[in-house]
């Protein structure tokens, strides 16, 4: 019998579907979590996790020390593309498969990213507040804004989502440049080998790289200074990629023109300083938050668990686990 552990509550649709198929252990309901884990750990085959599991601000990190507590563990099924809360390298080395839910949320997240570009550069949310506050009639037209004309969109992380954002940028007439670990074959966009070089070459810097220890604070004060006082930062990846104190300083001091953020370092806790700034657009991590996309993500997560439980190959192993069988 396949037994699953869900450390932190996810959506009712995931819980109901898994509970109908398997024995599902709900750690968040346990009055004594450590005693509960000690009791169920020998039987757990699958951990259900997410790129950023958050319930009341709580994050559950599935690192080597956690996985070592589960001798029967064979699969970590991650709800989301990002799996930075899982030590996938440790898992692969110990023949534990890790899956995620790529592709099904690419277009929605890219829509959100480009929506932030428009709203940040053209200041549409502030313009709406101007109208709603009665200022149009009382004080005249809203202020003039920056433009997308003749601008370059630099994409930090040209993966599935980065490429989808690039297609949207091209449709708006933007020049596209990118930065990644290596130059990609078959990609005609201008390539820069470091975030700082990319920032210096673009007007809008879009952060679309994976999270995790390797990319923590990848966008630091030097990158922001390279972006410059007419540049905009957009982040739809993970809050950990941006040095938040450095970003706050750059926004306050107008060393960059503005920022559009869907993600933060300590979600759902957003530094109060952001709320007082008029040159930042803030969203509560809604990149893929549509009914259709979340249903597709749930289905893919369930399909991966079902594949493991019936002895078939999982559908979407993460890169580190491609050779695990």
Q: Which residues are catalytic?
A: 238, 267, 285
Cβ atoms within 10 Å, residue 203: 22
Residue 154: name the closest of 219, 83, 222, 239 by CA.
219
Angle at 92 between CA 88 and CA 98, to 5 degrees: 55
- 189 contact partners, CB below 8 Å, separation of at least 6: 155, 158, 166, 176, 177, 178
Residue 167: HSE in the Cβ half-sphere, 13 Å Cα cutoff? 10
DSSP-derived secondary structure for 12-45: HHHHHHHHHHSEEEEGGG-SSHHHHHHHHGGG--
């Amino acid at each position: 019998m396949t037994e699953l552990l869900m450390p932190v509550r996810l959506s009712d649709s995931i819980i109901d579907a898994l509970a109908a198929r398997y024995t599902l252990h709900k750690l968040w309901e346990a009055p004594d979590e450590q005693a509960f884990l000690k009791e169920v750990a020998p039987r757990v085959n699958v951990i259900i996790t997410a790129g950023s599991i958050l319930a009341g601000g709580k994050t559950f990190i599935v690192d080597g020390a956690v996985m070592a507590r589960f001798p029967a563990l064979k699969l970590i099924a991650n709800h989301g593309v990002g799996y930075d809360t899982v030590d996938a390298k440790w898992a692969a080395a110990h023949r534990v498969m890790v899956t995620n839910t790529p592709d099904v949320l690419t277009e929605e997240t890219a829509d959100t990213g480009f929506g932030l570009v428009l709203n940040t550069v053209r200041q549409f949310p502030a313009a709406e507040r101007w109208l709603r506050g009665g200022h149009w009639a009382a004080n005249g037209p809203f202020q003039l804004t920056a433009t997308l004309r003749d601008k370059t969109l630099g994409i930090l992380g040209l993966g599935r989502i980065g490429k989808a954002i690039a297609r949207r940028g091209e449709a708006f007439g933007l020049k596209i440049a990118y930065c990644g670990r290596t130059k990609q074959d078959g990609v005609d966009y201008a390539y820069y080998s470091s975030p700082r070089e990319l920032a210096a070459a673009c007007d809008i810097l879009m952060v679309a790289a994976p999270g995790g220890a390797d990319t923590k604070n990848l966008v630091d004060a030097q990158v922001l200074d390279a972006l410059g006082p007419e540049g905009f930062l957009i982040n739809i990846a993970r809050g950990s990629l941006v040095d938040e104190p450095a970003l706050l300083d750059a926004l306050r001091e107008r060393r960059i023109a503005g920022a559009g953020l869907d993600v933060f370092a300590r979600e759902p806790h957003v530094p109060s300083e952001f709320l007082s700034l008029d040159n930042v657009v803030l969203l509560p991590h809604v990149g893929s938050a549509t009914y259709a996309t979340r249903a597709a993500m749930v289905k893919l997560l369930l399909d991966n668990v079902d594949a493991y439980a019936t002895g078939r190959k999982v559908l979407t192993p993460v890169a580190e686990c491609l050779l695990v069988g």
